[in-house]
Structure 1
Amino acid sequence: MEANFLWSETCDAHTHAHDDLEHLEEIGNLKTNKVCLMGTRLEDLDVVSKLATDFQVKVIPCFGFHPWFCHLLSLENEPESKFHYQTILKDIGPKDPSRSNYLEEFIDTLPLPKPFNVWYSKLENLFETYPNSLLGEVGLDKTFRLRDQQSKKLSQVQTTMQHQTVIFEKQLDLAAKYKRAVSMHCVQSTGAITQLLDRRINKQEPLPPRICLHSFGGSVDTIKFLTKQKKKKEGISVDIYFSFSFVINDKYDRLPDLIRAVPEDRLLIETDYHSPFGLDDYMAMIIKLVSEAKEWTEAMTVEKTRKNFVKFIGESV
């Protein structure tokens, strides 16, 4: 069926299409005009950077370390592996004598953590190399459990919120320094994010100019609180955007209410999809959902979200 909008105006604010390593060339064939490719860990940052070079018109490179992988990052330049993991991981399983060594055995399967100077300088170098790059995907996740290295199933081990927060803030520091927008993962952590932003503003600690809470699944009240006014104090400010995807958000009955709560000038759309195959379809689906919730035509949705996208990434596209 023919689209009721111009594909040449569509902008995907958050995708992982590069995870499909066997079909990277298909990213260049997408109908979606602009895609923000989200790095998540040290291993995929070079993939994102190469695609940004290969498809300069289409790809907005985004570099960052996802909370699901931040346990692999040390704050020391010469980390001692076991001590690092013992400090930042916790066993949330049942208190049973039969599993008293569960965490230690889990730690023994993990790779050596990346020294601070390695991962931090890598991120900074990428920001310098790609002036149009963003920070992402980064953030906080209160519920995620690490995967077992052998079975690949979810374990009973979590990264402490303290470590997640420190790694997250180190990355925010870089985004603030280079004035880059941020695509943020936030799962059951909206309170922590709000407190973090308030603290940095009140202490006049630098913040990135713009932050997008992607595939947002929080509350209408949170949207209203974060967008009712620009958070500003003596020159420290940040504009908060919200983005929605069909892949993640369609399961929420309250999705139309969330979309309606976002101010017209702070709304973005995304696919959050892990392959170029099907990405355009998911883009069309979220355009349809947003249009229905906002009572806009699909052409209006594309036009408005493109305008917001241009403001969010900080340049003309």
Structure 2
Amino acid sequence: MAHDLHPLPDPSILAHIVDVHCHPTDSPTPPEAMTAMSHRMCAMATRASDQPLVRKLAEQYPDSVIPCFGYHPWFYHWISLAPASAVPSKRSHYASLFLPSSKPQHADAFERLLPFLPDPTPLETVLAGLRADLTAFPHAMLGEVGLDRACRVLYKHPVAPPSLSPFTIPLAHQVAILEAQLALAVELRRNVSLHSVQAPQATAELLARMKARFGHAWMDISVDLHSCGLSPEGWRDIERTHPNVFLSLSTGINARSRGHIALLRAAAPTRLLVESDFHDVRLSAPYTWDMVCRIADARGWRVEQSAAEVEEVGGEDKTQWGVVWRLAENWRSFERGGHREAPRTKKRDKRKLLLDDSEEEEDE
């Protein structure tokens, strides 16, 4: 993908930046690129084969890699909800997902797809592995997890160009696997990188269920809607209701549409994060920094020109904060967690009381 990227700043400025979502284990990772990195990255896992790769990268580069363990919705069909002692056969498992709602002519496509699919893995096995990895790395996150209503299952993975089957993964199956992973994140108090594609209502409903189910424990962790494609109105609804949810955008995904500028302007300045969403570690810094500059342009924030400018300007007067300092503060808030609802003001409570009285009178 070709983009005219903003030129990189001095490494001492990049040292304050965190790429909150990338996939460095999806391609060869040159050691020289890792040792030359001055920023930090959140390295995502997506499927079983990724978990040990992320683990190894974090062990090799503990100062620059924040490991993220989790299962991506593109691979949820590989997971069975049945107990380990009663996992169905490969054919039965995938038929239960793909054939009930399919058209009759899809039977041939199913037979073509089946040889490329792995034997299903029990969800309890997946969760046990996640628990072990998250426990081994006290600062690890859960990611990449989420919901995707657009993805069609590949006949073979990976392959280029992709050959797509007609099948999508049922939303109910996705939600069950995602909620099980999120419950583990809440238990272990781990932050989350959340994927959401063509699922704004399902995502909003999911967040509401998690908040109702876990209460303060849910608010103790932070959730990042990565490469967020919500409308400004959709984001504002989530932002008002969920103080623990943050927003990150990437040049590679979001800059395809000018709508991302409106989204950046709609978000509260304290909820913005930046990411590359890239698989090549050498492009993590360029693509993340490009989004830093895009945020500065959209919000009218200055871009610091030196590390001293970043480090010395922080303070109570937020009008003096540059984009790098602001994003660094947002990351610290995300990493720290422990969010709480803003208390209602007396004026607002009084207005609500008057409204309630008025409604009661009308009912009478």
Aligned to 2:18: 11
Aligned to 2:134: 127
* Cα deviation 1:142-196 (Å, max 9, x = unaligned): 0100111286412211111111110100000000001111000000112101112
Q: Which runs of no fewer than 5 residues in structure 2 stay unpaired?
A: 1-6, 305-321, 338-364
Aligned to 1:234: none
Aligned to 2:274: 269
**Shift in Å, 1:302:** 1.6
* Cα deviation 1:2-54 (Å, max 9, x = unaligned): 627811111111011221125355223223x1100011111011111111111
Is the aligned partner of 1:219 residue 2:231? yes
Distance 2:141 2:163 in 1: 31
Whichever structure has more helix as a proportion of its residues is 2
Aligned to 2:179: 169
Aligned to 1:303: 325
* Cα deviation 1:78-127 (Å, max 9, x = unaligned): 4222221112235887x464x53322432243111112332110000011
Change (3 A) 1:281 1:202: closer
Aligned to 1:235: none
2:276–2:287: 8 Å Cα contact kept in structure 1? yes
Change (3 A) 1:25 1:116: farther
2:8–2:286: 8 Å Cα contact kept in structure 1? no
Distance 2:75 2:34 in 1: 25
Aligned to 1:83: 92
Question: Of 237, 243, 246, which residue of structure 1 is paired with 2:248?
Answer: 243
Question: Of 261, 286, 294, which residue of structure 1 is paired with 2:291?
Answer: 286
**Shift in Å, 1:274:** 0.5
2:19–2:285: 8 Å Cα contact kept in structure 1? no
Distance 1:115 1:90 in 2: 20
**Shift in Å, 1:285:** 1.2
Distance 1:85 1:45 in 2: 24
Aligned to 1:196: 206
**Please, what is the CA RMSD of the aligned residues?**
2.2
Change (3 A) 1:88 1:298: farther
3-state SS of paired residue (2:252): helix
Distance 2:8 2:132 in 1: 43
The one-letter code of the counterpart of 1:115 is: P
**Shift in Å, 1:56:** 0.7
Question: Of 210, 232, 235, which residue of structure 1 is paired with 2:222?
Answer: 210
1:184–1:212: 8 Å Cα contact kept in structure 2? yes
Aligned to 2:67: 61
3-state SS of paired residue (2:110): helix
3-state SS of paired residue (2:119): coil
Q: Which runs of no fewer than 5 residues in structure 1 stay unpaired?
A: 232-237
Structure showing greater radius of gyration is 2
Q: State TM-score, norm by structure 2.
A: 0.78
Runs of 4+ deviating beyond 4 Å: 90-93, 203-206
2:99–2:107: 8 Å Cα contact kept in structure 1? no
3-state SS of paired residue (2:282): coil
Q: Number of aligned pairs?
A: 305
Work out the percentage of aligned pairs sharing the same amino acid.
Answer: 29
3-state SS of paired residue (1:247): helix
Aligned to 2:48: 42
1:16–1:38: 8 Å Cα contact kept in structure 2? yes
Pick which of 50-59 and 297-306 moved more. Answer: 297-306
Pick which of 142-151 and 155-164 moved more. Answer: 142-151
Distance 2:43 2:99 in 1: 31
